């Protein structure tokens, strides 16, 4: 079958809730992927940071296949021999007291919302069903009804109501607005340390420290959604470290399994995860032995191969070169580590067609929001590979870049 045949099948039988680039991939190794016609591309999206360790990392593959041949699922009605070691390893690595594993990122967010509400009622003493959680404009926390209900992005929520009450929205990056939104029913704030889907938006210096202080002063739980920014992406294990703070609850997903398998978790350093009693929360696949074995290997790769430090160094190399590129269509370059956004001028006509032009040159990336081109290669990327990517970006966005529809 040719690429167009695969695309025709998807169009005919699948729901049309995506608009992917028309590249049909069949194989991946490290930072590279190949399409069904054998063309090679560098993956500069990494499945939104789920592939920090690169495609088909051999150590994670080995853990997956070995565990898959032994035991894959027990449900949590029974215990399994991967769960305890996974708990210990992730808590020691992240200096957390407790962990609650789930599958998708959205489930980790939902779990945190439940935990923070219950903490509010049973420990803080908020009146029943009165709890409020503060969230930020332009957020992205996933796609369930509760989560899209507190999105400010119309296309995420339009036509999907009615929504879950109990959330209050404030502008992102504005600590004063948070302070003003707090009342006696406020139990916590849920925020991304850097807004990823929102366009790689980095808050002003001191923002996370201010949130930490507000949470301490008002007895609120600080929940950081590090599903995209965590596990090395920004050049630190967690983006919170750039401001020297610790969240009360941290959400991880995506790279937690190195792209092999959906594994997410809520990590906590406070009493917030202690509120659940048997029967109050769960998931058939959450904490299954296959997922635990994969996550253990994925975390080992992250630390043993120095990927966090590499993200910092290669991110610096990207940022230096991109800032010097002097492109007529780039208004701003934003980034931390290997989470980089190029904000294009409105006259450039949207980031999508620059992604198409880069695809033609063998580099895959995507647009987030209409005018932001996102670069987030696997953290294993080498200097040579970084320079190759910069060369392609220079060709497409550099001095000669056109603002006409054909780029
Ligand atoms: C991807 C993402 C999620 C949702 O994760 P899913 O696994 O797609 O449900 C939540 N928060 C952030 C910040 C994300 O980037």
Phi, psi of 190 (to 5 degrees): -115, 120
Q: Ligand 1 centroid vs 117 CA: distance in angstroms?
A: 21
Instruction: Please give the residue range of the domain that contains residue 139.
Output: 58-304
Residue 404 falls within a domain, yes or no?
no
| Contacts of 342 by beta carbon, 8 Å cutoff, 6+ apart | 322, 330, 332, 333, 351, 372, 373, 375, 397
Domain final residue pick, 263, 281, 304: 304
Q: Contact at 8 Å (CB) between 354 and 325?
A: no
Ligand 1 contacts CB of residue 260 (under 6 A)? no
- Work out how many domains the chain is built from and give that number: 2
DSSP letter (8 states) at residue 200 = S
Has this prediction a pTM greater than 0.95? Answer: yes
Residue 130 falls within a domain, yes or no?
yes
For residues 392 and 267, membership in a common domain is answered with no
How close are the terminal C-alpha atoms of the chain, in Å? 30
For residues 208 and 228, membership in a common domain is answered with yes
Q: Contact at 8 Å (CB) between 176 and 122?
A: no
For 240-296, write each residue's pLDDT tens digit: 999 999 999 999 999 999 999 999 999 998 789 999 999 999 999 999 999 999 999
Mean pLDDT (whole number) for 22-35: 98
- Helix, strand, coil shares, percent, the chain, to 5: 40, 20, 45
Q: Rounded to whole angstroms, how far apart are CA atoms 40 and 63?
A: 27
For residues 341 and 274, membership in a common domain is answered with no
Ligand 1 contacts CB of residue 193 (under 6 A)? no
For 99-119, write each residue's pLDDT tens digit: 999 999 999 999 999 999 999
Task: Choose, from 35, 118, 124, 225, the residue flagged as catalytic.
Answer: 225
Ligand 1 contacts CB of residue 227 (under 6 A)? yes
Q: Contact at 8 Å (CB) between 215 and 187?
A: no
Active site residue 225: yes
Phi, psi of 265 (to 5 degrees): -160, 150
- Cis-peptide, bond into residue 162, ω within 30° of zero: yes
Q: Rounded to whole angstroms, how far apart are CA atoms 50 and 198?
A: 17
CATH of the domain at 26: 3.90.1150.10
């Amino acid at each position: 079958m040719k690429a167009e045949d695969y695309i025709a099948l998807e169009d005919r039988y699948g729901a049309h809730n995506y608009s992917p680039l028309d590249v049909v991939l069949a194989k991946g190794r490290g930072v590279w992927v190949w399409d069904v016609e054998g063309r090679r591309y560098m993956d500069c999206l990494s499945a939104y940071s789920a592939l920090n360790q690169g495609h088909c990392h051999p150590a994670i593959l080995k853990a997956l296949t070995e565990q898959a041949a032994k035991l894959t699922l027990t449900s949590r009605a029974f215990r399994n021999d991967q769960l305890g070691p996974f708990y210990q390893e992730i808590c020691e690595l992240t200096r957390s007291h407790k962990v609650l594993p789930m599958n998708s990122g959205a489930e980790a967010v939902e779990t945190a919302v439940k935990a923070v509400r219950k903490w509010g009622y049973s420990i803080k003493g908020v009146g029943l069903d009165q709890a409020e959680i503060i969230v930020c404009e332009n957020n992205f926390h996933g796609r369930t009804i509760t989560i899209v209900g507190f999105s400010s992005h119309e296309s995420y929520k339009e036509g999907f109501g009615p929504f879950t009450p109990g959330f209050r929205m404030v502008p992102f990056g504005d600590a004063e607005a948070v302070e003003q939104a707090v009342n006696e029913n406020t139990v916590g704030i849920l925020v991304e340390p850097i807004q990823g889907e929102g366009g790689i938006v980095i808050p002003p210096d001191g923002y996370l420290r201010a949130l930490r202080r507000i949470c301490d002063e008002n007895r609120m739980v600080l929940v950081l959604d590090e599903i995209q920014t965590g596990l090395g992406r920004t050049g630190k294990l967690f983006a919170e470290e750039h401001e020297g703070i610790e969240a009360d609850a941290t959400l991880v997903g995506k790279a937690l399994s190195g792209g092999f398998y959906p594994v997410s978790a809520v990590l906590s350093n406070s009493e917030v995860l202690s509120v659940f009693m048997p029967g109050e929360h769960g998931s058939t696949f959450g904490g299954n032995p296959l997922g635990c074995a994969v996550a253990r290997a994925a975390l080992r790769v992250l630390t043993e191969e120095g990927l966090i430090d590499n993200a910092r160094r290669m991110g610096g190399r990207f940022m230096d070169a991109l800032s010097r590129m002097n492109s007529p269509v780039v208004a701003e370059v934003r980034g931390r580590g290997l989470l980089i956004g190029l904000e294009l001028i409105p006259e450039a006509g949207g980031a999508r067609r620059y992604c198409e032009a880069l695809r033609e040159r063998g580099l895959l990336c995507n647009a987030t929001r209409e005018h932001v081109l996102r670069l987030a290669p696997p953290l294993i990327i080498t200097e040579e590979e970084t320079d190759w990517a910069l060369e392609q970006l220079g060709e497409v966005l550099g001095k000669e870049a056109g603002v006409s529809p054909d780029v």
